[in-house]
Structure 1
Amino acid sequence: MRKKKGLLATAITTVILLVAFSLLGYVIAPHWVPQDSTATIDLGSTSTAIASNDTTNDTVGTYDVTEATVPISLDDGTTIDAIVRMPVARAGGQRLAASVPGCMLITGAGLGKATEVYGDIAWGMASAGVATIVPDKNMTDYSWQHRDYVKMAHDYEKTLDVLEAWPGVDPEGVGLYAESEGAWITPIIASERNDVSFSIMTSAPVYTPRQQMTYAIDDYFRVLDVPFPTNQITSRITTLEMSGIGPNYADFDVAPYLARQTQPTLFVYGTNDLSMPTIQAPEHARRIMADNGNTNTLVRYYRGANHQMRVGDAKAKKDLPLADNFIQDMADFAQDAKISETLGWSTPDVAGNDTPWQATDVDTDQLVSSVGSGLVGSVRGLLILQGGAIVMQLITLLGLPVLHFLRRRRIRKETALAQLEANSSPDSAATGNIIVKHEMLSREARRRPGFAEGMSGRLWACGLATFLTTLLWLGYVAYTAYSVFKLSTNHTLLVVWQGAARLLVVVCTAAFASLVVHMVRTEIAHRRKPLDERPSVSGAGHIAWTVVYFIGVVFSFIMFMYWGLFLV
């Protein structure tokens, strides 16, 4: 009967805890959830061609190209290399102008060496009559935690000075080309220097890195068909306050620089780019610029092009070909941008050979207002809770056998002393009291430090289940991150893995409920019969161990709530 009552109490407590933890999980987790996008854009033409009125440009391949590598000294003492590619007239071929326009090409995230990027784009533009320069990226203070886009812009300006002074280059016709992260840098340069003639921003995020990361991860999860609630991991990470650990550039806002950018600007996107809000981003940027007087902005979309404007695969791979007509369009814009300010464009402002589609909206208001909110409001707090849970559980799980060993050794020692005392008493021979009575030893054992009967097994069950579930879930999060990086995953594995984690969370809750119910029932029995029933935990060492144990378990349960594992 007592056992049945215990099982019933455990079942009721488990249900209550599951409901309570689900509600708490809803309260402490960020409430920002990506919304499906309904954004559309009207294309003025299915041709990506770019041309100003009354002009004709040379085509890619018209000129030979010479290359030269030059050293460039930066303000921090670093020396980088830059590759200059110049058009050269062929014998008997098209005559080259005395001075040609120029373009500095800025790389995206992580890419550093000029020898590894833009070889085909820079050569192609040069062969159409546009001098190009591709500099190394200064990587001395560049990491996933720290990036200073203003300093990077000033570093790139040293290269821009070199191109403007290069023989045969028109210093008033030099502009910028940037891809992805580089599009957070070019507006800084363009807003600070009136000598910049134009700006080409390819796969430009426009929004803050935090907002961009949120959009990209959610879009990847949709493409990979990541199951609920894992698809909400995005907001649980990107709405955390990141100061102190990084990235320090999460909330860099390029909008003030776009507002001061006066040059003709071209925004370019591929319709197979899974990481960019390809409709909202250019609209947002053009609206900022137009509100501040710059209406000379164009947008082009390329069918099947990925984030690097290459076709054949959504992932970045070497040797993929560029989108059709891409280099020619870039060269045409570079040559016509300056004159377009007086003659205008003969081609539409917005055009593309494919209609873009955007998965979700970049909801800037909700995202900004939710940053740092909730019980787990920062990356630091998340690491403390998650790391603390694992460390404390390891300590307690490894410490429990030690406590058992020390207690058993103490019992053996006390038993031996009691036996010796009994055998040495004056009346031991007369009474035959050679062996210590079992009842006396049992009574003494109840006064010794330790756990009550049934406690150790429940402590092991709850602690081990919670620890393994924590590892299983962190492994699942790591696997989804790897899937995003590789842009491929096993959907069945995700479903089974996630289901196992959520089932184990229920097991953890039941084990925790059984432990709590047993402790309460044991304490009640002890209060009623203090001499016959031992407390659930006694002794300073065992009590300290139990406190650490419960803190570790509670930390893990908070993490389960935060990740949404209790929500049904």
Structure 2
Amino acid sequence: MLRDEPGSRARAIVSAARGRRAYRMAASSAVGVLALAFLGSVMGPQWDPQPVTDPIEVETTSTTIGEAVQPGTYEVTQSVVTVRLDGVSVQARISEPVGAEGPLPAVVFVHGAGTGKYDEAFLAQAASLASHGIVAMVPDKRLDTYTTRHRDYAAMAADYARSVDLLREWPSVDPDRVGVYAESEGGWIAPVMAAQDPDLAFVVLVSSPVVPPRQQAAFAVDSYLRNTQVPHGVFRAIPRAVGMSLPGGGFEYADFDVTPYQRRMTAPVLVVYGTGDASMPIVQGAEKIVADAALAGNGDVTVRYYAGADHGIRVDGAVSEAFLRDLDGWVLGLPGTADASPRVAGDQPVQEYLAAPVPEPRWLRSGDVVLGSVFTGAGLIALGPVLVLGSRAAAAVAGAVRRRRGGGTVPDPAGRPAPPRYGSGVPWRIGALGLGALATVGVLVWYLVAIARLALDYERNALVVQGGWLLVRLLGIGAVVAGVALATRMHELQLVGRRGAPGAVRTIALWSGVVGAAVLLVVLAYWGAFQLGI
């Protein structure tokens, strides 16, 4: 028993030392995560949308238009024409009723976002209008000046105005009864047309964003993410992503404000939303159009909400029949339907939060800087192994040359220092730090893409939403722990008079990996990977 006391005491000392070491590791890791969480909080804006406090009230659930004219039913004939624009031409299809007594009212369709071809877009709307006595013209969208990075809504309005001019000269059309139908992104174009052409007979705004594109994008992302039930910390990414300038420049149209043009609209306006559309501020939008038109002395704004209809006013994949009926009746009944009651009718819309200006990031406002930071960090991490492997390869080549010169014999290594090596335990800790930071960035990118897909499809997946975010945070914490472990090991080696990274090459490789990982951890903190509700 007495002989066992020194061994027991030694084991107790070792155990206590290990315990203290583990405690210091845990405490240092916690401090590191807290520091990154605080840094991420102060680096950029928070997301705190304001709730809607003044909801619009519908007068009746029936969407039927007062004073609407009972339309006739006609066969439809179609013609494809060429619309000459500034330097280019586009094709357009004109659908008109056969045998309807003219001259007839007419509609030019203005496309939403993306490409728009006359043989693919507004098929149900154009067919319904034409079969009930209204000439419908769907032009192709001009694409040579329309890209993801560049869109000029004023110039696009001028292009669509050429279609209006052509339709006014069409034989069966009454030139004083030509109006426009605009959907989604077209809601930023049609008011420009109406402001610049007071002779437009009417404007139909379907699923109109109303607010600037940047605000609408933030609103839509917020709405989709709430439906997807993502963790609260993910919302921090909204102003940091939507508020920054995107890599490569462009996107000036993101801050286009249609308000000045809406305040010059004097033609009757039909505002249409589906209550199943989560991407648009359906309450705020209608209220703003009414208020803006009133400033132009225009009280002829009719608002309709269709139950369960989506962004294209579709229910179960088909354009709402009630909407088509109301559209035809409203156009045919003008000017009597312009101020007919009820003014606001249909399904009761719900909008929880306002679409409002997006807070701008303070530090990482430039997308080029964000992207450059990620590539710089990854490059620095990759540089370390390249340097070490390169130095080993150079040493191997030098050794081979010496052997060749010595006739195949290996010179006596006495007197020559051994090749420098990392201290024990240092290499794998450097690798864990670098790979941990890279893996966290990779999983974060995957997570954001997966969330975007769920949001756009308006779906939920708890495993992806909750589990993916937990994985991002665990990997990030793991990278911090690896960094603490590396610092601890380097300190231990220094205490016994050894260098953790001897030689210039390994010193540079070490700090390259550490700095690269630190850059990535700061970027991750900015996007909320370490946020703790602060």
TM-score normalised by length of structure 2: 0.89
- The percent of aligned pairs where both chains have the same amino acid is 31
The equivalent position to 2:434 in structure 1, one of 449, 463, 469, is: 463
* Cα separation, partners in 2 of 1:324 and 1:397, compared to 1, 3 Å: farther
Where 1:392 maps in the other structure, the secondary structure is helix
- 8 Å CA contact 1:66–1:88 kept in 2: the answer is yes
Task: Pick from 433, 436, 457 the counterpart of residue 486 of structure 1.
Answer: 457
- Indicate whether 1:16 and 2:31 are aligned: yes
**359, 368, 372: which is aligned to 1:384?**
372
1:422 shift after superposition? 9.6
The equivalent residue for 2:329 is: 332
Taking the aligned partners of 1:382 and 1:331, their CA distance within structure 2 comes to 50
Q: Quick one: distance in 2 between partners of 1:475 and 1:421?
A: 52
Determine helix, strand or coil for the equivalent of 2:254: coil
Amino acid at match of 2:521: F
**1:101 equivalent in alignment to 2:105:** yes
Q: Name the structure 1 match of 2:75.
A: 64
Deviations 1:81-134 (A, max 9, x none): 111111222xxxxxx433111110111111321010111211211222211111
Structure 1 partner of 2:3? none
DSSP 3-state at the match of 1:229: helix
Tell me, which stretches of 5 or more residues in structure 2 are unaligned?
1-13
Match of 1:375 among 351, 363, 377: 363
1:227 aligns with 2:239: no
1:361 aligns with 2:368: no
Distance change >3 Å, CA 421–CA 265, structure 1 → 2: closer
- C-alpha separation between the residues in 2 aligned to 1:112 and 1:422? 77
- Residues 336 and 508 (structure 1), Cα distance of their counterparts in 2 relative to 1, 3 Å cut: same
What letter matches 2:70 in structure 1? Answer: D
Cα distance in structure 2, aligned partners of 1:216 and 1:422:
72
1:248-277 CA-partner distances (Å, limit 9, x unpaired): 321111111111111111110001111111
Superposition deviation, residue 391 in structure 1? 3.4
- For residue 126 of structure 2, what is the aligned residue in structure 1? 122
CA distance in 1, matches of 2:356, 2:323: 31
Aligned residues of 1:260 and 1:289 also touching (Cα < 8 A): yes
- Deviations 1:327-383, CA, capped at 9 Å, x for gaps: 12112222334456xxx633221111x11111322133xx2xx22x22211222221
Matched, 1:321 2:318: yes
Q: One-letter code of the match for 1:213?
A: A
Preserved contact between residue 301 and residue 339 of structure 2 (Cα < 8 Å) = no
Q: How far apart are 1:500 and its partner, in Å? A: 1.7
3-state DSSP of counterpart to 2:114 = coil
- Deviation (angstroms), 1:291: 2.7
Aligned equivalent of 1:530:
none
Distance 2:288 2:223 in 1: 19
Distance 1:566 1:248 in 2: 32
The one-character-per-residue Cα deviations of 1:54-90 (angstroms, maximum 9, x if unpaired) are xx5232x522221111011111x2211111111222x
Using the TM superposition, give the Cα deviation of residue 166 of structure 1 relative to its aligned residue in structure 2, in angstroms: 0.5
Secondary structure in structure 2 of the residue aligned to 1:279: helix
**Equivalent residue, structure 2, for 1:500:** 471
What SS is found at the alignment partner of 1:250?
helix
**Are 1:255 and 2:259 an aligned pair?**
yes
Partner of 2:91: 81
Give the residue type in structure 1 aligned to 2:118.
A
* Change beyond 3 A, Cα 1:175–1:465: same
C-alpha contact 2:212 2:254 (8 A) present in aligned 1: yes
8 A Cα contact 2:75 2:97, kept in partner: yes
The whole-number CA distance in structure 1 between the counterparts of 2:424 and 2:330 is 82
| Cα distance in 2 between the residues matched to 1:324 and 1:38 | 32
Q: What's the TM-score, normalizing by structure 1? A: 0.84
Q: In 2, Cα distance between the equivalents of 1:473 and 1:79? A: 45
Residues 357 and 236 (structure 1), Cα distance of their counterparts in 2 relative to 1, 3 Å cut: same
SS at match of 1:542: helix
User: Distance between the aligned counterparts of 1:324 and 1:450, measured in 2?
Assistant: 77
Give the CA RMSD over aligned residues: 2.8
Matched, 1:288 2:292: yes
Amino acid at match of 1:87: P
Distance 1:468 1:197 in 2: 59
Does residue 448 of structure 2 align to residue 477 of structure 1?
yes
2:388, 2:505 within 8 Å by CA — same for their partners in 1?
no
- Separation in 2, partners of 1:123, 1:44: 30
Change over 3 Å in CA distance of 1:480–1:349 after alignment to 2: same
